Amino acid sequence: MKMKLTALAALLLASSLSFAAEYNSHTIKFAATSPKGTPPAIGMELFAKKVSERSGGKIKVRTFPNGVLGGDVQVLSSLQGGVIEMMTWNAGLMLNHVTDFGILDFPFLYTDTAKVDAMLDGEVGKMLTDQLPEQNLVGLAFWELGVRNLTNNKRPVAKLEDIAGLKIRAQQSPLFLDVWSALGANPTPLPFTEVHTALETGTVDGQENPAALILASKFNEVQKYLSLTHHNYNPQIVLIGKGFWDTLNDDEKKLISEVAMEVRLEQRQISREADSKAIAELEASGMQVNELPDEEVARIQEKIRPVIDKYAAKIDPQLVKKVYEAMDVTQP
């Protein structure tokens, strides 16, 4: 009987081994412009740890935050060219490659995080990521950077007119340039890696980013006013180069996909908890903090409506419809 049980155990062991995942040795370079300690960088570290553990150390992920491999545009080019394997960056900036992604940067639209999460994790997210392979990219998950607010060295922004004349560093996206121009500002497109120097030297008066990133980047050392405009929700997309992706076997793809999606839940929670803490720290550091009143938000929305209409006309109408339905907002 004992021999029969031993034989059975050996058979079961062999059977289980035959179904074990197969992982080859890989080293993945994972880049971002976000500084170490910010929610995207923390997400990268979580991802690296989990992938290493679950692959038995065969798949190693080296993280490169803080723009050490270049600005967003440069890193994306490196990703598409196979120089690096992964990156995370502001999803709306994909507008320059896939027009439909521009809808993720529509101001004042994404105010309910639960609805945003369901939208990005569901059909809308898939409609967007399905367009990436033709750009030599694969979208793994949507993480987040947070809600963007405005800082500057001239004055508190408490009403629409306060924006006029400000030299504002804008993301390298035509939508952002048009939005700030419509509000009377003078937008200057700069890579994130150049923003601190531009603020310090007065090349620009201000910039806009989530509070946790403002704090980690030490913008409070070169900026006086923080206006809580909450004008943009900033989802981050986790990308992997298609050329590298195509070299992976099914088990490796499954592991990387599952971990990226799993980390999104923890990463988003970290981001949301960091936001209020960062605002308090920025105020304690000496920044003057003010909240943009609801009536001024409405005025700003009306002022930028032609810009939103312009970009909405370039986007798949079905996608626009689904986004507004997901956010439970009347489509303009």
Q: What is the pLDDT of residues 275-301, one digit of tens each?
A: 999 999 999 999 999 999 999 999 999
Question: Tens digits of per-residue pLDDT, 214-231?
Answer: 999 999 999 999 999 999
Domain that holds residue 231: 24-323
14 assigned to some structural domain: no
> How many other C-beta atoms are found inside a 10 Å radius of the C-beta of residue 207?
28
332 assigned to some structural domain: no
pLDDT of residue 2: 45
pLDDT higher than threshold 50 for residue 3: no
pLDDT of residue 19: 53
User: What's the average model confidence in pLDDT over 296-312?
Assistant: 96
17 assigned to some structural domain: no
Give the separation between CA 5 and CA 118, rounded to whole angstroms.
49
Which domain CATH number covers 117?
Answer: 3.40.190.170
124 assigned to some structural domain: yes
331 assigned to some structural domain: no
Give the separation between CA 248 and CA 245, rounded to whole angstroms.
5
19 assigned to some structural domain: no
pLDDT of residue 5: 46
| Strand blocks (E) in the chain | 26-31, 59-64, 86-90, 137-152, 167-170, 186-189, 206-210, 225-241, 288-291
10 assigned to some structural domain: no
pLDDT higher than threshold 60 for residue 14: no
- This prediction has a pTM of 0.90
When divided into structural domains, the chain yields a total of 1
pLDDT of residue 73: 87
Which burial class, exposed, middle or buried, applies to 297 when counting CB atoms under 10 A from its CB (0-12, 13-18, 19+)?
A: middle
275 assigned to some structural domain: yes
